[in-house]
Amino acid sequence: MRYHSVCLESFGYTLPEQIVTSTQIEAELSPLYERLKLPAGRLELITGIGERRFWDRGTIASDISVQSANKAINAADIDRRQIGALVHGSVCRDHLEPATACRVHHLLGLDPHCQIYDLSNACLGLLNGMVQVANMIELGQIRAGLVVGTENSRPLVENTIQALNTDTSLTRQAIKSAVASLTIGSASCAVLLVDRELSRTDNRIMGGVSRAETTHHGLCHSGQDEAGDQMRPLMDTDSEALMEAGIATGRESFVDFLQTLGWGPEHVTKTFCHQVGTAHRKRMLETLGLELTKDYSTVESLGNTGSVALPISMAIGIENGHLVKNDHAALLGIGSGVNCLMLGIDWQSEPPIAAEQREPASALTEGG
């Protein structure tokens, strides 16, 4: 896919105040650790994740998504009536129905003609939403579109801890499928895309590729479909097999990506990849022949924030100067299924309003 008229105009993101360290999680897992004689520090050593964040109990996705969306709209200084599509793309949502996008649309005060819906595709939801909005803009159906999502990790992490502590039949081998669930963090991000004629940044989305290797769909899955703050999810993840399948899919996708955009590896000056863990990130970039210093990482301090992980890493990276004028940025998205989606951005500048209103640069993590 190639685009000529679509710009990535602005971001808005929101983070929970409560920080939960891997040390704290291990303390809560003391019954399991004592029974299996597991060494302290194992969780951070395996994943590279020192901490993640939780929303307050009772927080619903739409409330936080509205905050992030308003930040993106205000940063771009755009007339809300020009936003013709709203996609809520996170795994977490308020209800099975209506769409969480309905409440977000209402609280944002968007136009009644704005198309709204939820989109779910594991860790690729927000990126998929960006593609759909970009398609609508390229076709001339809308002038601007907003993609937003909020992931809530607390129910999954707390339920996983309870299950690990109470099931005394578990062995060291058996608990491996639960480790990925303990890395999940909470966060929210919004991305505003606009027609190039409306843009004040000229940050063009050049195009991208997608790939579905669904023979691997069973490597990571939850239980039954649930929604809202009363959900009691559990995940079963073959982390090692999922990493290998994801890297193989990423390698094939990256070849197509470069060919589609007419780029060579040397044209990719900056990257933002899906944030699962430090080992996965390192292996993926090395496999693609990309330098670690070109990438911006947040996984160490935010954990794996699902569909929000890649866009919020880009948003924070921009705040911290990771992108400069004329950078060619590659967005390298990989999700369970296994699905891959990569987009190329010709970066020029951030919205003037965002620069004026910026708070001091975030110290969440370091790029590379």
Q: Which residues are catalytic?
A: 97, 123
Q: Which of 14, 367, 345 is nearest to 201 (CA)?
A: 345
At residue 267, the 3 state secondary structure works out as helix
Dist. CA 151–CA 188, nearest whole Å: 6
Dist. CA 267–CA 347, nearest whole Å: 12
At residue 149, the 3 state secondary structure works out as strand
Dist. CA 43–CA 157, nearest whole Å: 13
**Residue 133 vs residues 104, 120, 139, 215, 238: alpha-carbon distances, Å:** 17, 15, 10, 28, 33
Tokens of 73: 């709209």
Per the DSSP assignment, residues forming a β-bridge with 13 are 189
Tokens of 256: 């197509």
- Number of neighbours of residue 71 by Cβ within 10 angstroms: 22
For the chain, counts of helices (H) and of strands (E) = 12, 13
Residue type, 198: L
CB proximity list for 214: less than 8 A, separation 6 or greater: 337, 338, 339
CB proximity list for 1: less than 8 A, separation 6 or greater: 131, 135, 207, 208, 209, 210, 260
Query: Taking every pair of C-alpha atoms in the chain, what is the biggest distance, in angstroms?
Result: 63
Residue 170 carries which DSSP code?
-
Residue 362 carries which DSSP code?
P
At residue 53, the 3 state secondary structure works out as strand
Dist. CA 102–CA 125, nearest whole Å: 17
CB proximity list for 102: less than 8 A, separation 6 or greater: 116
Q: Which of 232, 184, 152, 159 is nearest to 336 (CA)?
A: 184
